[in-house]
Chain A
Amino acid sequence: MHDVVIIGAGASAVGAMLGLVKQGVKPLLLDVGFAPTPPRSTETGGNLYRVRQKKDVFDIMIGEELQGLHNVIHGDKRPPKMIAPEMKYVMRDNDDLLPRDESGFTPFVSFARGGLGSAWGCGLFRSVAQDLLGLPITLDDLDPYFDQLTQKIGICGRDDDLRPYFGKADGLMPPLSLSSKGKKLLVAYEKKRDVMSRHGVHAGFSRLAVLSEAKDGREPLRYDNMEMWQAENPALYNPYYTIEMAVKNGQAEYQPGWLALSFKSFENHVEITARSTSDNSQRTLCAKTLILASGAINTAKLALNSRQDHRSRLPLFDNPLYQIPIIFPHFIGTALETDCFAMTQINLVFDLPKLGLLLQGSAIELTSPPRAALMEMFPLSARGNLALARYLAPAAMVLFLYFPIDSSQGGTISLAEDRLLIQGQPYPYPKKALKKVLSSLLRLGVLTLSPLVQKAINGYAVHYAGPLPMREKPHGEYECHKSGRLAKEKRIYVADGSLFSRLPAKNSSFMMMANAMRIGDLLGRNGG
């Protein structure tokens, strides 16, 4: 009999594990846990562009199984990082392991060790009080865990104008060096700070789980543009790193190769049925306590499947996301910057009280994705688009603009036979808000046009939430107590995005991790 079994090995599972470990409880993490092939290497082969000048990079950018062409061949819209050949383990077998029908919502699910944290954008933002409105937890509940996780993970950033939105900056590593365009945008903001502030626009450094200094044997970022091409890049935090360390220190057990199918509660224990991913054999594990932390979609499936409930429709949503290309006229015709960090440079907050919205945007560099992927956004002839890739792309960034959402605006997840049914609903076009954002960007000296703004498909923001919400007084069997305990259950806890009935307009991974750590810690204090 195990004291505590945690399902999953992504960001939330790691949070729960750390909370338990802190109290001296040694949990078992049960996970499918696909690993990268070839195994992780600290050698990147050097800067992507210098490599590209010298040799055929078909293996790095496309791969023998043509993964890099996945979106073209299958008519799909996976983010570029998820189709990089070395990243194929991140999405491996997810259709087989989680059979589902989707309409109006395309979820990205991973059975990799580290979960979706194996291919994330690394943004980790603390919550502030307003992010938690309507939830049964407060900032005081989460703050100590944000502090501990910041130390554990290694997060870079700076105390600046975004503090009211991203929380205190204690314990952060120095920020990464900005690209020339990132710098230009920040300087433009600083010069016009008063005007921008009057319009509710605030900008500053991002908070990223990327090392600007060496930590725990991991090398800092090399600025080699390999962020999206290299699996388990040591500079980019992957939740699996923390599991690996805990296992090495004898603080946790990790069993990959098992897909949890269902659980059954008894008076003094829980039985978990799992299937081997190598030979399909089944086994049953017993634990005093079970923590579901494999992400909102998997967790919802486990809860529904365990009850063989084909009737209930649970809420499911993620942040509505708009992609806004921005052009820096000064950089048109310049050489591509090949030595920079190819992900989020700076963040912008748009406080629009008249519309009742607080939006957040991540300004992302486009130096790492294939130029071919950018060309798909260009409107000219094929040859004209090739010229745009050469002369216009060095002047372009994209703003990922996140909107807040709650369960009333989201979709549903249910179980039909053995398949999940995931249904989304259209998000009303936020014309006024986008107009304000675009005019603020123009004030900062960058060009953009409303026809270029694209709504990402529902599910693209990847921070899924909603199915098993925390309530002060939970009703029904699919809600949870503040402690994470599933209503009407004594030994089943939930510790992932499922618990949140609303999401602020920001990457919520850190909020989910801190809350999972809180739940693990509370549980650990009671001996698991």
Chain B
Amino acid sequence: MNKEAQSSRYSDEARRIYQVLFSRECPEILISRYVKAVEKLNERLGEEDIRAHQSIMDRVRDIEALEMAARYRGLLSPLTDKFRIMVFLAETLPENYNNFIAQRTGRIFGWMVLLGVGVRSMWKLMKGLWLLSGSSGVAKNA
């Protein structure tokens, strides 16, 4: 794949991951930073891993579930690394400040949110494990 096509693929990846995390459009500045970071990450990953990962990204819609299941299974996942990269990059923007930092105290609300995300994560985990079992042979590259 030429550099331009690869760059375009990673830009789409950035938009998808950002959408999963924040449910909104990814700012352009983050896309270019993400592409640069993933190109560096690829220097550590083997060609085979990169290709397998791209194939999974093309086939699976719920990448959040897949990422969690891969992490749960203890797989060293390029997908987890990419989520981590996006989170680190997203945190630097003031528009995401509220997503990371609680500015007001709301203890009951806080506990309820934690309960809610706990239940949601269980669902995502089950779905992800099902996706992994359905993608036999590529699990280690998830």
B is a partner of A: yes
- Complex contacts, A73 vs chain B, CB 8 Å: 37, 40-41, 43-44, 81, 85
Contact partner of A380 (CB less than 8 A), chosen from B37, B99, B102, B121, is B121
The answer to whether A450 has its CB under 8 Å from any CB of chain B is no
| Contact B117 A58, beta carbon cutoff 8 Å | no
Stretch at the interface among A48-56, A144-152, A213-221, A425-433: A48-56
Q: Which residue of B lies closest to A380 (CB)?
A: B121
Contact partner of B67 (CB less than 8 A), chosen from A332, A338, A382, is A382
CA distance A375 to B85 in the complex (A): 12
Question: Known contacts A52-B94, A381-B65, A383-B117: does B107 contact A333 (CB below 8 Å)?
Answer: yes
Stretch at the interface among A2-10, A91-99, A384-392: A384-392
Chain B positions 84-136 with a Cβ under 8 Å from a chain A Cβ: 84-85, 87-94, 97, 99-111, 113-114, 116-118, 120-121, 124-125
- Complex contacts, A390 vs chain B, CB 8 Å: 99-102, 113
CA distance A52 to B99 in the complex (A): 12
The answer to whether B139 has its CB under 8 Å from any CB of chain A is no
| Contact B108 A333, beta carbon cutoff 8 Å | yes
CA distance A372 to B83 in the complex (A): 10
- Complex contacts, A66 vs chain B, CB 8 Å: 36-37, 40
Q: Which residue of A lies closest to B40 (CB)?
A: A73
CA distance A325 to B80 in the complex (A): 22
CA distance A362 to B8 in the complex (A): 47
| Contact A376 B84, beta carbon cutoff 8 Å | yes
CA distance A394 to B64 in the complex (A): 25
Q: Which residue of A lies closest to B87 (CB)?
A: A372
Contact partner of A382 (CB less than 8 A), chosen from B21, B102, B105, is B21
| Contact B84 A56, beta carbon cutoff 8 Å | no
- Complex contacts, B89 vs chain A, CB 8 Å: 58, 62, 69
Question: Known contacts A55-B94, A72-B41, A386-B87: does B111 contact A333 (CB below 8 Å)?
Answer: yes
| Contact B117 A380, beta carbon cutoff 8 Å | yes
| Contact A370 B88, beta carbon cutoff 8 Å | yes
CA distance A335 to B29 in the complex (A): 29
| Contact A388 B102, beta carbon cutoff 8 Å | no
Cβ of B4 to closest chain A Cβ, rounded Å: 21
Cβ of B95 to closest chain A Cβ, rounded Å: 9
Question: Known contacts A333-B105, A382-B68, A390-B102: does B92 contact A56 (CB below 8 Å)?
Answer: yes
Q: Which residue of A lies closest to B112 (CB)?
A: A333
CA distance A68 to B92 in the complex (A): 11
| Contact B121 A381, beta carbon cutoff 8 Å | yes
Interface residues on A, range: 35 or more
The answer to whether B60 has its CB under 8 Å from any CB of chain A is no
Cβ of B58 to closest chain A Cβ, rounded Å: 19
Q: Per-residue 0/1 for B29-42: is the Cβ within 8 Å of any A Cβ (1 yes, 0 no)?
A: 10001001100110
Cβ of B92 to closest chain A Cβ, rounded Å: 4
The answer to whether A75 has its CB under 8 Å from any CB of chain B is yes
Q: Per-residue 0/1 for A325-345: is the Cβ within 8 Å of any B Cβ (1 yes, 0 no)?
A: 000000011111010000000
Q: Per-residue 0/1 for A373-413: is the Cβ within 8 Å of any B Cβ (1 yes, 0 no)?
A: 10110011111101111111010000000000000000000
Cβ of A49 to closest chain B Cβ, rounded Å: 7
Q: Which residue of B lies closest to A391 (CB)?
A: B110
CA distance A56 to B104 in the complex (A): 22
Interface residues on B, range: 35 or more
The answer to whether B50 has its CB under 8 Å from any CB of chain A is no
Q: Per-residue 0/1 for A348-377: is the Cβ within 8 Å of any B Cβ (1 yes, 0 no)?
A: 000000000000000000000011110110
CA distance A66 to B37 in the complex (A): 7
| Contact B110 A332, beta carbon cutoff 8 Å | yes
CA distance A60 to B40 in the complex (A): 20
Cβ of B116 to closest chain A Cβ, rounded Å: 8
Contact partner of B91 (CB less than 8 A), chosen from A53, A334, A370, is A370
Question: Known contacts A336-B102, A394-B102: does B87 contact A382 (CB below 8 Å)?
Answer: yes
The answer to whether A61 has its CB under 8 Å from any CB of chain B is yes
Cβ of B24 to closest chain A Cβ, rounded Å: 13
Contact partner of A56 (CB less than 8 A), chosen from B41, B94, B101, B121, is B94
The answer to whether A1 has its CB under 8 Å from any CB of chain B is no
Cβ of A50 to closest chain B Cβ, rounded Å: 10
Question: Known contacts A49-B101, A333-B102: does B91 contact A61 (CB below 8 Å)?
Answer: yes
Q: Per-residue 0/1 for A24-50: is the Cβ within 8 Å of any B Cβ (1 yes, 0 no)?
A: 000000000000000000000000010
Q: Per-residue 0/1 for B59-71: is the Cβ within 8 Å of any A Cβ (1 yes, 0 no)?
A: 0000011011000
Q: Which residue of A lies closest to B67 (CB)?
A: A382
The answer to whether A57 has its CB under 8 Å from any CB of chain B is yes
Which positions in A face B, CB cutoff 8 Å? Answer: 49, 52-58, 60-62, 66, 68-69, 72-75, 332-336, 338, 370-373, 375-376, 379-384, 386-392, 394
A-B contact pairs, 27 of them (CB 8 A): A52-B92, A56-B94, A58-B33, A58-B92, A62-B33, A66-B36, A72-B37, A72-B81, A73-B41, A73-B44, A333-B113, A335-B102, A335-B104, A336-B101, A336-B103, A338-B101, A371-B101, A372-B100, A373-B88, A375-B87, A380-B68, A382-B83, A384-B124, A386-B21, A387-B117, A391-B110, A392-B110
